Amino acid sequence: MKITKVQVLRANRSVFCKIHTDEGLTGLGESGAWGFLEASARAIDVFADYLVGKDPLDIEHHWQYLYRFSHFRGAAVMGALSAVDIALWDIAGKWYSAPVYKLLGGACRDKVRVYNHTAGRTEEELVENAIRGVEEGYTALGHLNPYLDEPRTSPYRDGNAAMLYKAERRIAKIREAVGQEVDLCLELHRRLEPGLAVQLSARLEPYNPMFLEDPIRPDNFDAMAETARKCRIPIATGERIHTVHEFEMLLARGACSYVRASLGVCGGFTGAKKIAAVAEAHHASLVPHNPLSPVMTNAVLQFCAATDNIAVCEYPSPYAASTADHLTGSGVQLRQCDMVDRIPTFHDGYLEVPQTPGIGIDLVRDVEEKFPFRPHQVMTRLNADGSICDQ
């Protein structure tokens, strides 16, 4: 079997890689490069020059070749490699008539616990959506932002004291509303400096969050480690790093309890399984990062099914236009689930693992025409004084 064509598909807010073979089998993957999807699409085109004519089942070799052939990487390149890798595993599953998780070592679980995206542009809306999430069957609520999901066009005006008191008040209200048996996964969007993050952690301890995600900017592993040492609430981080080597350095410093590896930028299945092994050696669990389309959700489910040290998994709504549209309330009238031929079944806080060969999903015909590509705009929020506000 040989690869005959590597196709880039741009649709909605996604870039997909579709690999064709002379046996008629195709594989589908998705890049997680987010704000750099167009650059990632071009990197897939570059990789195509190497891949055409190769055996798609030599996945590890192709991964090493594409990862190591150039002197430079970054999110766009790793997003492209991730999309290619997922597509190759999809082909392998179809070739062997098995879901990908069977090829990754078999089932550790037959369903995957997930958390939703609980958004809120006001305090009242945040609490209402938390209650709605529990009513829908979720046992964990995620992307809970104690600083709200306000428009990026609105300047942020709170000082440190207001940030602490408001965050505590909002999480207290949510805990009271949903009870003691629901896990709260807090997303801090890199908003704080280390000292303020430690203060916030102390104030939120009585409400028992499952973790604080990215309380500070994740660029400095030592700073994250120092924050983790001083916080009694576990830290989750990792969505912005790409390689097993970076994750090993992060974990060796004790910088997190939960690893937020993203299959869309960490090298697909091949990269993620290596990161999971390193995390296991450090007694750390994975909370896979996934703000992408149902294609990536299916890939993540295959990975989680075959990986023991999974704590919970992020689940973006397939009924929203995209995660960005869901969180900002853009009002775009389309659904990601309409881009694909099926989505996994959700019941009582879990997603069932697809059992069809490969990753178990495909795009609808003419997806690019039906869902025109909408790249993310270069836009970030500002503080009242005009400086950058991470959100």
Catalytic residue among 189, 245, 347, 376: 189
Q: At 329, is the pLDDT very low, low, confident or very high (cuts 50, 70, 90)?
A: confident
Q: At 373, is the pLDDT very low, low, confident or very high (cuts 50, 70, 90)?
A: very high
- Residues 86, 182 within the same domain: no
Q: At 330, is the pLDDT very low, low, confident or very high (cuts 50, 70, 90)?
A: confident
Q: Which residues contact 49 (CB under 8 A, 6 or more apart)?
A: none
Q: For residue 115, is it within any domain?
A: yes
Digit-coded pLDDT (tens) for 264-284? 999 999 999 999 999 999 999
- Residues 75, 153 within the same domain: no
- Residues 114, 67 within the same domain: no
CB 135 within 8 A of CB 127: no
Q: Once rounded to an integer, what is the mean pLDDT over residues 38-64? A: 98
Q: For residue 136, is it within any domain?
A: yes
Q: Exposure of 352 by Cβ count < 10 A (0-12 exposed, 13-18 middle, 19+ buried)?
A: middle
Describe the crossing of helices 194-204 and 160-178 by its angle, rounded to 10 degrees: 30
Enclosing domain of residue 288: 102-359
In this prediction, residue 185 carries a pLDDT of 98
Q: Read off the CATH number of the domain in which 304 is found.
A: 3.20.20.120
Which of 35, 69, 99 delimits the end of a domain?
A: 99
In this prediction, residue 316 carries a pLDDT of 97
What kind and span of H or E run contains 237? strand 235-237
Q: Is 282 a catalytic residue?
A: no
- 186-224 b/e (C-beta count within 10 Å ≥ 16 → b): bbbbbbbebebbbbbbeebeebebbbbbbbbbbeebebb
- Residues 150, 11 within the same domain: no
Give the C-alpha separation, 318 to 294, whole Å.
Answer: 6
- Residues 275, 235 within the same domain: yes
Q: Once rounded to an integer, what is the mean pLDDT over residues 365-373? A: 97
- Residues 217, 289 within the same domain: yes
In this prediction, residue 282 carries a pLDDT of 98
No. of H helices and E strands in the chain?
Answer: 13, 15
Catalytic residue among 62, 143, 242, 289: 289
Distance of CA 203 to the CA centre of its chain: 27
- Residues 32, 143 within the same domain: no
- Residues 22, 130 within the same domain: no
In this prediction, residue 241 carries a pLDDT of 96
Digit-coded pLDDT (tens) for 120-173? 999 999 999 999 999 999 999 999 999 999 998 999 999 999 999 999 999 999
Beta-strand pair 350-352/111-117: antiparallel
- pTM score: 0.97
What is the count of structural domains for the chain? Answer: 2
30 - beta bridge partners? Answer: 16
Q: Read off the CATH number of the domain in which 44 is found.
A: 3.30.390.10
What mean pLDDT is reported for the chain? 97
Task: Inform me whether the pLDDT recorded for 331 exceeds 90.
Answer: no
- Residues 70, 125 within the same domain: no
In this prediction, residue 281 carries a pLDDT of 98
Q: For residue 386, is it within any domain?
A: no
CB 63 within 8 A of CB 81: yes
- Residues 77, 210 within the same domain: no
In this prediction, residue 319 carries a pLDDT of 97
Q: For residue 373, is it within any domain?
A: no
Q: For residue 368, is it within any domain?
A: no
Q: For residue 330, is it within any domain?
A: yes
In this prediction, residue 255 carries a pLDDT of 98
Q: For residue 364, is it within any domain?
A: no
Q: Is 62 a catalytic residue?
A: no
Q: At 328, is the pLDDT very low, low, confident or very high (cuts 50, 70, 90)?
A: confident
- DSSP 3-state assignment of 304? helix
Which of 58, 82, 99 delimits the end of a domain?
A: 99
- Residues 165, 303 within the same domain: yes
Q: Exposure of 98 by Cβ count < 10 A (0-12 exposed, 13-18 middle, 19+ buried)?
A: middle
Q: For residue 278, is it within any domain?
A: yes
